[in-house]
Structure 1
Amino acid sequence: MRALIAFAAAWPLLARGHVAEPAPAAGPWRWDFAPWVLALLALSAAGYAVGLRRLWRNAGRGRGVAMHQAGCFALGWFTLLAALVSPIDAAGGHLFSMHMVQHELLMVLAAPLLVLGRPLATWAWALSPAQRRRVGSLFARRGWSAAWSALSDPLGAFALHAIALWAWHLPAAFDAALAHEGWHVAQHVSFLGTALFFWWSVLGHDPRGRYGPGHAAASLFATMMHTGALGALLSLAPQPWYAPYVASTLALGLDPAQDQQLGGLVMWVPAGLVYVVAALWVLGRMLTRVRA
């Protein structure tokens, strides 16, 4: 059940994909109201709202899922909306820098906010008791349980997220994602999916209880270091890495190399700060518990 509900967070991405466009004829700053994206986003929000209402009706308002956690889910949901529906999505087909903004919105803002919102427990309450039992028994089977444990293990989640980031930023892989919608969908799903498991592992959801806040902080700092290194490589490269963006960037009157450098800076600095702030927050929680 947990794996099914977690995967639901990535559903909107299954319907999205864009290729780099050679000219801004359709407009790089348009909103994209794809019906299936809006429908899936609405379904995830409605399921959360129904589950939250039932949970609070049975346990009391603010119990099980606190008010601030519900607020985190709402912020994460609106971040998904901004990344997938707003002009950021269309502009990502013309500019590498905007594509990077979209990726970072998914990985370092939407993913941790959604995890903090406790969507698994809340969506479960949207089901009837009989449905919860049936789905729970299905995903309690050994195969699903083992897969969930492997994906949410702190070391495994860190490694998978790192592999996804570096592999997809290889020029051949990134160019393939720009040229073929199916590969682009796979890229976005892997970014958001591995980010969800990564943030799940560092925000206090270690399934086996083998790791503490120190391990979570180390994972966050290590992720900051390797993503910062990738951002630095993109920023300091004298020539653009991704050929499909050259024509579209020039068509907008911009320099492709500078566009790539700006995209690298987005990953290097503001996105890196999110990992630092999260690590400090994890360590702060640990110190507070020790003093208590």
Structure 2
Amino acid sequence: MNPLYWLEPWEPSPTVVIVMLVAAVLFARGARKAKVSFARQLSFWFGLGALYVVLHTRLDYFFEHEFFMHRAQHLVLHHLGPFFIALSYPGAALRAGIPFNWRQRFVRPALQTRYVRMTLDVLLHPVVAVVLFVGLIYFWLLSPIHFVAMIDWRLYRVMNWSMAIDGLMFWWLVLDPRPAPPARLSPGRRILIVIAAIPPQILLGAFIFFSTHELYPVYSICGRAFTWLSPMRDQQIGGLLLWIPGSMMSVIGALIALRHWMRLSARGRLRNERTARPGAGARPGTAPSAAQPRSAHGTR
């Protein structure tokens, strides 16, 4: 079989293609101007490629017809892909990839509007970030909601996009290498929020794994991709994917945030957090990556 066969979309989506192309073009244009290191470029392309694979290839058929494959898809959408994109710290490159006139006329005024600033302040609040990160997993795994999401293609796409966008926001907060300000959270708070997200994931994964009855019959009703795998075994593997790899990604995120904390402390950068006025160094509505593009190079 031709390997390119697996790259063909199961259900073509112009939205996925446009979003991926725009992100790729902006990063490729800006990486040269922002002097992004090879390691960071590799991290970005791996994360973006992982998101594309789970959103727009023939693998989507298996994601729709096996619970454990669906959990693997969301592990990439919510954890792995956004994690590596945030780890590359691409904000400066993406900003540099936008033509200067566009940044002045459209991007900056849009970010300075009251509505956008308030929305970002709410969504990127540490408590809200944790609740959304864990809450979306629970919400989409509620049996009645999951059933409808898997049979309605529109809700299915909303589910996938919500997981990817929320993952990007959460890991962007956690893996920001800068002191606060200009980062939204101090290194200590970054560690706390990612640790707070671990127990709920373990509890839900364990509940699914140890459940004695089939929680998600939609896969049996619509037909399973792997007929040799029993529904209960499929469900147990899906619970393990949420329980172990999902939690381990959070542990790795906490360790990276701790590394940033120790590095900033060794360089005396944390003194700025105690003396700087709250909000100084970044506009209230500006995304963390775009506020101080030069600092991205100095703190890596």
Secondary structure, aligned partner of 1:42: helix
In structure 2, give the amino acid aligned to 1:290.
S
Secondary structure, aligned partner of 1:249: coil
1:88, CA displacement in angstroms?
A: 3.2
| Contact in 2 for aligned 1:80/1:105 (Cα 8 Å) | yes
Alignment of 1:124-273 (within 5 A): 124-135=95-106, 136-204=108-176, 211-247=185-221, 248-249=223-224, 252-273=227-248
Secondary structure, aligned partner of 2:197: helix
Poorly superposed stretches of 4+, deviation over 4 Å: 205-210
1:163, CA displacement in angstroms?
A: 1.8
Secondary structure, aligned partner of 1:253: coil
Post-superposition CA distance 1:134-191 (Å, at most 9, x none) = 1211221111111112112222211122221111110011111011111111111211
Corresponding residue for 1:122? Answer: 93
Asked whether 1:104 is paired with 2:75, we answer: yes
Corresponding residue for 1:93? Answer: 64
Secondary structure, aligned partner of 2:65: coil
| Contact in 1 for aligned 2:7/2:53 (Cα 8 Å) | no
Secondary structure, aligned partner of 2:105: helix
Distance, in Å, in 2 between the alignment partners of 1:120 and 1:209 is 12
1:121, CA displacement in angstroms?
A: 2.9
Inter-CA distance 283–233: structure 2 relative to 1 (3 Å threshold): same
Which of 96-105 and 201-210 deviates more? 201-210
| Contact in 2 for aligned 1:231/1:264 (Cα 8 Å) | yes
- Taking only aligned residues, the RMSD between alpha carbons, in angstroms, comes to 2.3
Asked whether 1:82 is paired with 2:58, we answer: no
Post-superposition CA distance 1:232-262 (Å, at most 9, x none) = 1111111121121124238723211110110
Distance, in Å, in 1 between the alignment partners of 2:183 and 2:17 is 38
Corresponding residue for 2:276? Answer: none
1:49, CA displacement in angstroms?
A: 0.5
Distance, in Å, in 1 between the alignment partners of 2:38 and 2:188 is 27
Taking structure 1 as the reference length, what is the TM-score of the superposition?
0.80
The percent identity for this pair of structures is 25
1:290, CA displacement in angstroms?
A: 2.9
**Partner residue of 1:278 out of 243, 253, 262:** 253
Report the count of equivalent residues.
256
Distance, in Å, in 1 between the alignment partners of 2:185 and 2:20 is 33
| Contact in 2 for aligned 1:149/1:207 (Cα 8 Å) | no
In structure 2, give the amino acid aligned to 1:128.
P
Secondary structure, aligned partner of 1:93: helix
Distance, in Å, in 2 between the alignment partners of 1:207 and 1:249 is 50
Distance, in Å, in 1 between the alignment partners of 2:126 and 2:51 is 24
Corresponding residue for 1:46? Answer: 25
Inter-CA distance 39–150: structure 2 relative to 1 (3 Å threshold): closer
Inter-CA distance 291–39: structure 2 relative to 1 (3 Å threshold): closer
Listed as ranges, the gaps of 5+ residues in structure 1 are 1-28, 57-61
Post-superposition CA distance 1:177-236 (Å, at most 9, x none) = 011111111111211111111112212376786742222112112212111111111111
| Contact in 1 for aligned 2:7/2:57 (Cα 8 Å) | yes
Which of 186-195 and 261-270 deviates more? 186-195
| Contact in 2 for aligned 1:153/1:201 (Cα 8 Å) | no
Asked whether 1:32 is paired with 2:8, we answer: yes
Taking structure 2 as the reference length, what is the TM-score of the superposition?
0.78
Distance, in Å, in 1 between the alignment partners of 2:251 and 2:76 is 16
1:70, CA displacement in angstroms?
A: 2.0
Secondary structure, aligned partner of 1:254: coil
